[in-house]
Chain A
Amino acid sequence: GIQVEQSPPDLILQEGANSTLRCNFSDSVNNLQWFHQNPWGQLINLFYIPSGTKQNGRLSATTVATERYSLLYISSSQTTDSGVYFCADNDYKLSFGAGTTVTVRA
């Protein structure tokens, strides 16, 4: 199956900082999604973004499918942004990355 590499593996931010998370894929992607797993373990859909750019509040994502990567931007980070961020290619069989653990300090 497709290999998914996420970077960085860990990120510590001061509240209010901006950051960029990256996802690289070993093959072309068709149904890319970003998820946030909060400290309670819930997997929350952030973006379904096969290509292009989307924005939702302080979060935005860009996928360049032909170059096999996607970026997640967090602006003005808040402590509630803490958790693990996963990207995944949702093409009939979800291939998850190992995640980026984000810790936002007050």
Chain B
Amino acid sequence: DAGVIQSPRHEVTEMGQEVTLRCKPISGHDYLFWYRQTMMRGLELLIYFNNNVPIDDSGMPEDRFSAKMPNASFSTLKIQPSEPRDSAVYFCASRGLAENTGELFFGEGSRLTVL
């Protein structure tokens, strides 16, 4: 398997623009997580899905952030409108609890810079 695939790897945009980050989890994994990493706050869980259903979105900062998982192989994290304080590295991760291992695998991250 190619692992968790995220795109874009880097995104530079201007304040007010819409940003869409994409993630393809490892095939067969039941759980998908979106994290954000900044120097100030470290790694924060934003939202996670189980079998394509959002389970906990309490970490989503505000209404400008939304996430969807239309099918088992694709998820998006959208920020609209973007602000400079959204600049961070956004990680997607997946896990296959059904495999009885519980091991979590991360994508390489999407580095977002909002000017």
Contacts and interface: CB of A to CB of B under 8 A. Distances in A.
A35 to B, nearest CB: 8
A30 to B, nearest CB: 7
Provide the main secondary structure of the chain A interface.
loop
Contacts of A30: 102
Interface in A84-106: 86, 88, 90-94, 96, 98-99
A42 B104 contact: no
Contacts of A99: 42
A86 B43 contact: yes
A50 B91 contact: no
A48 interface: yes
Contacts of B109: 41-43
A45 interface: yes
B92 to A, nearest CB: 11
For the residues of B in contact with A, the DSSP-based class is strand
Interface in A53-94: 86, 88, 90-94
Contacts of B105: 45
A24 interface: no
Contacts of B106: 35, 42-43, 45
A6 to B, nearest CB: 11
B108 interface: yes
Contacts of B103: 31, 33, 45, 48, 90
B104 A94 contact: yes
Contacts of B15: none
Interface of A: 30-31, 33, 35, 41-43, 45, 48, 50, 86, 88, 90-94, 96, 98-99
